[in-house]
């Protein structure tokens, strides 16, 4: 495809009007001010009038099958939300529920310009199956919860992860990737956590983990582990000895920042979910000032309640300014980088998240003809503060169009909606 005379967000996260962008195979092969001399080799020419081309969104923290729980646990604090509503529902979810939940979640994410996501949940085979069919990128693992002090090697999870690595890791030219997932400090124990960390190092994979989401979580951890915060504890267990995506990090203490920086941990902030559950907000400007990479996530649809990354981008920027009482602490270009390139890097995808030659063609195109986009005084600010996920008219992953103008060529969305609705009704009737 050749995008003609279109506005773009370049590799510096600056707006450039009237560009030509050529995609061949999985990569961007041309970015220029005029049409390439061999334009015919690109096939379809996409008219860029009233359109903006930018990197797709990388959702750094999600639980895709939780679309089944959308609206299920409302107006509850985190621990009550988990223990009284979420865990009982999840206990009744079957393997195929995870397939259809993931399928519907992917459709929602593609509709709103997301090209890849990091996923923590269960029934990994069904989630990989859904993602593979849809053509989306994913960093996925089976979530480990273990309250008994059993070495990881003695758990069924060890055999499962070994098989997942053989069958899926780096499949389809790296589109599918296996991460290891430790749910959290409070759902594990030192014996299992330390041995799990060693296994991650041996396997050479990335780690995903929930960290310091609530004040109560931090205080309980300190009581259990001799005053150690969750960050200190997880570091001591070796969890951060591989590239780690630490979700939330809302309640950090002074010593935590140096650990996260020195261990090169990425913090995936989830401002909408954290606000909805009343957990607070990550101190994103402080994290950035400390040299810590920050990416953006939606969390699951049970606590958001949607998977529109443009909404989370908007809240990210507002919260940073409001909390600091300083509108300069998170410039729009930096916020946009957090939602795109930083998310790609959190997944180990060095060749993703930028619009420049040689990068993977992970692209979303926005319709800028609507009233909220006029005037075009500052198009980067317009994306952050005036744009909406509903403005997305095309989403491309590795050069393949997966959503365009209301059509998902790889997903039967109506079937997915029907299956998810039926599954939720079935489980609700059993509770």
Three-state SS annotation for the chain: CEEEEEEEECCCCCEEEEEEEEEECCEEEEEECCCCCCHHHHCCEEECCCEEEEECEEEEEECHHHHHHCCCCCCCCHHHHHHHHHHHHHCCCCHHHHHHHHHHHHHHHHHCCEEEEEEEECCHHHHHHHHHHHCCEEEEEEEECCCCCCCHHHCHHHHHHHHHHHHHCCHHHHCEEECEEECCHHHCCHHHHHHHHHHHHHHCCCEEEEECCCHHHHHHHHHHCCCCCHHHHHHHHCHHHCCEEEEECCCCCHHHHHHHHHCCCEEEECHHHHHHCCCCCCCHHHHHHCCCCEEECCCCCCCCCCCCHHHHHHHHHHHHHHHHCCCCCCCHHHHHHHHCHHHHHHCCCCCCCCCCCCCECCEEEEECCCHHHCCCCCHHHHHHHHCCHHHEEEEEECCEEEEECCECCCCCHHHHHHHHHHHHHHHHHHC
How many Cβ atoms are within 10 Å of 162's Cβ, its own excluded? 12
Looking at residue 328, what is its pLDDT? 96
Q: Are 417 and 137 in contact (CB under 8 A)?
A: no
Mean pLDDT of 50-65: 98
Closest CA to 311 of 109, 135, 118, 117: 109
Confidence of residue 191 (pLDDT cuts 50, 70, 90): very high
Architecture of the structural domain at 57-346: Alpha-Beta Barrel (3.20)
Give yes or no for residue 76 having a pLDDT over 90: no
Looking at residue 254, what is its pLDDT? 97
Q: Which two tokens stand for residue 59?
A: 């959702």
- At 32, phi and psi to the nearest 5? -155, 175
Closest CA to 51 of 418, 413, 412, 396: 396
Cβ-proximal residues to 166 (8 Å cutoff; 6+ apart), any chain: none
Q: Is the pTM of this model over 0.95?
A: yes
Q: Are 19 and 8 in contact (CB under 8 A)?
A: yes
Mean pLDDT of 189-209: 98
Which ranges in the chain are annotated with CATH 2.30.40.10? 2-55+359-404
Percent of the chain whose predicted confidence (pLDDT) is above 90: 98
Mean pLDDT of 320-324: 95
State pLDDT tens for residues 278-315. 999 999 999 999 999 999 999 999 999 999 999 999 99
Percent of the chain whose predicted confidence (pLDDT) is above 70: 100
Quote the Cα angle for 376-379-384, to 5°: 130
Mean pLDDT of 22-31: 98
Closest CA to 52 of 275, 364, 350, 263: 364
Looking at residue 77, what is its pLDDT? 82
Give yes or no for residue 59 having a pLDDT over 90: yes
State pLDDT tens for residues 226-235. 999 999 999 9
Looking at residue 1, what is its pLDDT? 97
State pLDDT tens for residues 147-185. 999 999 999 999 999 999 999 999 999 999 999 999 999
Closest CA to 138 of 147, 150, 129: 129
Q: Are 66 and 425 in contact (CB under 8 A)?
A: no
Decide the pairing of beta strands 2-9 and 15-24. Answer: antiparallel
Rounded to whole angstroms, the Cα distance separating 184 from 242 reads: 16
Q: Are 178 and 169 in contact (CB under 8 A)?
A: yes
Which ranges in the chain are annotated with CATH 3.20.20.140? 57-346
Confidence of residue 401 (pLDDT cuts 50, 70, 90): very high
CATH code for the domain defined by 2-55+359-404: 2.30.40.10
Mean pLDDT computed over every residue of the chain: 97
Looking at residue 343, what is its pLDDT? 98
Alpha-carbon 397 to chain mean position: 15
Confidence of residue 79 (pLDDT cuts 50, 70, 90): confident
Confidence of residue 129 (pLDDT cuts 50, 70, 90): very high
């Amino acid at each position: 495809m050749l995008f003609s005379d279109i506005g773009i967000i370049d590799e510096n996260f600056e707006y450039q009007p009237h560009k030509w962008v050529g995609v061949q195979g999985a990569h961007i092969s041309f970015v220029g001010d005029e049409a390439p001399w061999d334009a015919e080799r690109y096939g379809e020419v996409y008219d860029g009038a009233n359109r903006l081309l930018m990197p797709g969104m990388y959702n750094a923290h999600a639980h895709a099958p939780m679309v089944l729980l959308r609206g299920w646990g409302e107006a509850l604090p985190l621990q009550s939300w988990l223990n009284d509503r979420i865990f009982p529902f999840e206990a009744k979810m079957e393997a195929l529920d995870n397939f259809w939940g993931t399928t519907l979640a992917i459709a929602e994410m593609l509709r709103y310009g997301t090209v890849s996501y990091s996923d923590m949940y269960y029934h990994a085979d069904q989630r990989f199956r859904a993602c593979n069919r849809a053509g989306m990128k994913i960093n996925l693992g089976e979530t480990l919860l273990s309250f008994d002090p059993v070495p990881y090697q003695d758990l069924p999870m060890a055999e499962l992860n070994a098989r997942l690595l053989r069958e899926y890791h780096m499949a389809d030219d790296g589109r599918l990737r296996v991460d290891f997932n430790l749910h959290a400090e409070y759902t594990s124990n030192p014996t299992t956590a330390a041995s799990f960390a060693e296994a991650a190092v041996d396997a050479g994979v990335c780690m995903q983990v929930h960290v310091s989401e609530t004040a109560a979580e931090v205080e309980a951890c300190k009581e259990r582990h001799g005053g150690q915060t969750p960050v200190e504890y997880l570091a001591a267990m070796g969890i951060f000895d591989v590239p780690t995506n630490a979700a939330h990090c809302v309640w950090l203490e002074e010593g935590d920042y140096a650990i996260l920086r020195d261990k090169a941990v990425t913090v995936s902030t989830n401002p909408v979910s954290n606000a909805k559950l009343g957990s607070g907000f990550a101190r994103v400007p402080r994290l950035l000032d400390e040299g810590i990479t920050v990416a953006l996530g939606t969390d699951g649809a049970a606590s958001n309640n949607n998977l529109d990354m443009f909404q989370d981008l908007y809240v990210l920027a507002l919260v940073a300014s409001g909390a600091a009482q300083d509108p300069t602490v998170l410039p729009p270009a930096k916020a946009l980088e957090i939602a795109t390139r930083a998310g790609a890097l959190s997944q180990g995808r060095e060749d993703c998240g930028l619009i420049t030659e040689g990068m993977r063609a992970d692209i979303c195109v926005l319709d800028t003809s609507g009233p909220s986009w006029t005037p075009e005084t500052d198009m980067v600010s317009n994306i952050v503060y005036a744009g909406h996920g509903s403005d997305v008219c095309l989403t491309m992953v590795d050069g393949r169009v997966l959503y365009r103008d209301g059509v998902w060529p790889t997903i039967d969305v109506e079937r997915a909606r029907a299956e998810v609705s039926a599954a939720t009704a079935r489980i609700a009737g059993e509770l």
